[in-house]
Amino acid sequence: MITLKDIKANDKFCTFIKWAGKCMEAKGYTEHGIRHCSYVSSTARNILTRLGYPERVRELSAIAGYIHDIGNSVNRKNHGPTGACLAFPLLMEMGMDMDEICMITSSIGNHEEETGSVVNEVAAAIIIADKSDAHRTRVGRGKYNSEDIHDRVNYAIRQSKVVVDSDRKIIQFSIEMDKTSSIMEFMQIYMTRMIMCENAARYLGCEFQLVANGQAINNQSVISGGRVDEESA
């Protein structure tokens, strides 16, 4: 069976990820290279691990998370469906099972809020992982633009993490922001993404909880304890 290790060793996937990062950098977007891909991969796997999904499903989520943004090597617009179309022949070429390919490509094709929706457990996991990668490390070194709301918001986030309380079935995304930006600005650009995370958590049988500077944002009480899946850094 094809594993994440095989994907990472594939020169074609590596090239797509490299060019996706370069194109997004040229457009002035936050970091979308290997760091982001690795974060989404490991966080998606950890979410499904905490919730008790089978090992193979967790591996597929790690693969989908790692290659979810390769469509950015073509264009930012519709990069989810584009990425799915790019991944399909490469996964076929590697000899992956067709059902597994469809699980991965449907997840990639549905991870963006403009056109996507939660179609399976792998899609749910990579949606939460992708949208939770908000942190100052996503702002390009030496390229911080105070006039750009995305730069301001991400630079203000000094700590972010995803916690899964498997007993209470709660997935929590928490951020700690400084005064470089504000919670209002965060919600201005993240509202639709957080709604998508709510839908993803619901698909996984959980509630989604957004916490900013210790305060619950989406009318849920703040959980304590649980397990940290991944911290953006």
- In the chain, DSSP assigns E strands to 157-165, 170-177, 207-212, 215-216, 227-232
Q: Which pLDDT score, from 0 to 100, does residue 84 have?
A: 98
Q: Which pLDDT score, from 0 to 100, does residue 217 have?
A: 87
Q: Which pLDDT score, from 0 to 100, does residue 184 have?
A: 93
Q: Does domain 4-131 have CATH number 1.10.3210.10?
A: yes
Give 191-225 pLDDT, tens digit per residue: 999 999 999 999 999 999 999 998 888 865 555 55
What is the spatial distance between Cα 111 and Cα 130, in angstroms, rounded to a whole number? 8
Q: Which pLDDT score, from 0 to 100, does residue 54 have?
A: 98
Q: What is the pTM of this model?
A: 0.90
Positions in the chain whose pLDDT score sits under 70: 140-142, 219-233
What is the spatial distance between Cα 82 and Cα 65, in angstroms, rounded to a whole number? 15
Q: Which amino acid is at 69?
A: D
Q: Which pLDDT score, from 0 to 100, does residue 115 have?
A: 86
Q: Which pLDDT score, from 0 to 100, does residue 218 have?
A: 80
Estimate the share of the chain in helix, then strand, then coil, as percent rounded to the nearest 5. 55, 15, 35
CATH code 1.10.3210.10 region(s) in the chain: 4-131
Q: Most distant CA pair in the chain: distance in Å?
A: 50
